[in-house]
Amino acid sequence: MTTKTTSQTQQNKSPKAEMGRKLGELFVEPLAHAERISDEIAYAQHKGLERTRGVVDEVANLTKASLDYQLKLADAWRTQQLEATRRMLGFFTHAE
């Protein structure tokens, strides 16, 4: 009675294994391409986030400057109103 043992080489040459190997080879290049695209998307997302943060900072600075300017204008307007009221009252109090 003899027992047959199949070598590793013979097992890898089975039609099913060969088809699996060829199928795997078909996906090597598309997978590498997908990985490159994924890396490019990640890079673009990070750059976009950096730009967005810069814009947000700039908008915050401009908003603060606008608020400061608005406060200065309100102070000037109040000062002008008081001065105009004083002049008007001066006309009435010094009128003869």
Segment 5-50, tens digit of pLDDT: 555 555 557 888 888 888 788 888 889 999 999 999 999 999 999 9
- Find where tokens 């890898």 sit: 12
pLDDT surpassing 80 at residue 82: yes
Token digits of residue 50: 């950096």
**Cα atoms in the 13 Å half-sphere on the side-chain side of 49:** 6
How high is the pLDDT of residue 41?
98
CA 88 to chain centre: 57
- The beta-carbon contacts of 89-94 under 8 Å, at least 24 apart in sequence, are none
Instruction: Say what the alpha-carbon torsion angle 78, 84, 86, 89 is, to the nearest 10 degrees.
Output: -140
pTM: 0.52
pLDDT surpassing 70 at residue 72: yes
- Looking at the chain, the whole-number percentage of residues with pLDDT higher than 70 is 85
DSSP state of 7: -
